[in-house]
Homo-oligomer: A and B are copies of this chain.
Amino acid sequence: MLELRHLRTLTALHETNSVSLAAKRVHLTQSALSHQIKALQTHYGLPIIQRRGQSIELTEAGKCLVSLSGKVLEEIQATERDLARISQQTSGSLRIALECHTCFDWLMPIMDAFRQHWPEVELDLVSGFHSDPIKLLEEGGADVVIGSECQKQRGIVHHSLFRFEILAVLAPEHALRGKRILQATDFADVTLITYPVPEERIDLIRKVLKPAGIYPQRRTAELTVAILQLVASHRGIAALPSWGIKSYVDHDYVIARRIGANGLWSNLYASTLKETASRPYFRDFLTTARNACFATLEGIIPLE
């Protein structure tokens, strides 16, 4: 018989077009999803998915169930908000500190929705640069830190968001355009365009260039668009999340290249104090953020 877990699986399948990726998304194994799918198919006597070579595609029946899933899961979320309201756990503060500037891109619409749903929660972005953002939580300067840190620390909980690839961004006519994959040495003689944060917070430098002993020139800009403009006008190369530059790449404004054979990957977490983690409005924020990211951002992978 149909259960909510099937619906959750269906949406994941729909958004990933892959059984194994969808499995990660719902924190199960690929095998579990295969079994679920098979059970559904025999139950309804209809194929739900169709193999299309490597990836899969949803059949008409599958899409039917996905659209059901969308409606149902939203209604459940809404009801759970109502329940929080009844238990009067509806107010508090959610001040978000961002470690990575690009995250503004996907965070904005989520914050708008959040304000609608939790009018009594004081929602804010913590501005300015902070050398140790996790410290902000303990000091009471922020309630959530969105960053790549996930060291175990008493009193702190790290909620996984997703894994994403950082790509090198070049002008379309750049000399390196011929290479499919860039190596550390390719950065020796270029200017690196970054956000105005210290070296150790730039993954490309910390994980790739520094180990190779390469220290390129740097130039900074505050906004993603500004960085891309500099790149497009041949002032240098940037390294940005794949989803942050997608639309610019699609419009041939810039081109993107993998860094290293396996690519340069980074993880994103939403870290909070233990007490914040159990607040209904934070749980709602978290699931909304995850759903929105997986639905909107291409090329991201679930963590754990």
**Is A46 in contact with B86, judged by CB distance below 8 angstroms?**
yes
A211 part of interface (Cβ distance < 8 Å): no
Interfacial residues of chain A within 47-99, with CB under 8 A of chain B in the complex: 60-61, 64-65, 67-68, 71-72, 75-76, 79-80, 82-83, 86-87, 89
Given known A-B contacts A4-B2, A5-B3, A83 and B71 have beta carbons under 8 A apart:
no
The tally of residues in A whose CB lies under 8 Å from a CB in B reads: 25
**Is A2 in contact with B68, judged by CB distance below 8 angstroms?**
no
**Is B75 in contact with A71, judged by CB distance below 8 angstroms?**
yes
- Nearest to A68 among chain B residues (CB) is B79
A129 part of interface (Cβ distance < 8 Å): no
Give A291 Cβ to nearest chain B Cβ, in Å. 15
**Is A44 in contact with B87, judged by CB distance below 8 angstroms?**
yes
A60 to B82 CA separation, bound complex (whole angstroms): 10
A198 part of interface (Cβ distance < 8 Å): no
**Is B86 in contact with A60, judged by CB distance below 8 angstroms?**
yes
**Is A44 in contact with B83, judged by CB distance below 8 angstroms?**
yes
A83 to B59 CA separation, bound complex (whole angstroms): 11
A1 to B71 CA separation, bound complex (whole angstroms): 18
Return chain B residues, CB-CB under 8 Å to A64: 79, 82-83, 86
Give A84 Cβ to nearest chain B Cβ, in Å. 9
- Nearest to A5 among chain B residues (CB) is B3
Given known A-B contacts A72-B76, A75-B71, A3 and B2 have beta carbons under 8 A apart:
no
- Nearest to A44 among chain B residues (CB) is B83
B4, B44, B71, B79: which contacts A4 (Cβ < 8 A)?
A: B4
Would you list 11 pairs from A and B whose C-beta atoms are within 8 A, ordered by A residue?
A2-B76, A44-B87, A45-B89, A46-B83, A46-B86, A46-B87, A60-B86, A64-B82, A64-B86, A68-B75, A72-B76
- Footprint of B on A, CB under 8 Å? 1-5, 44-46, 60-61, 64-65, 67-68, 71-72, 75-76, 79-80, 82-83, 86-87, 89
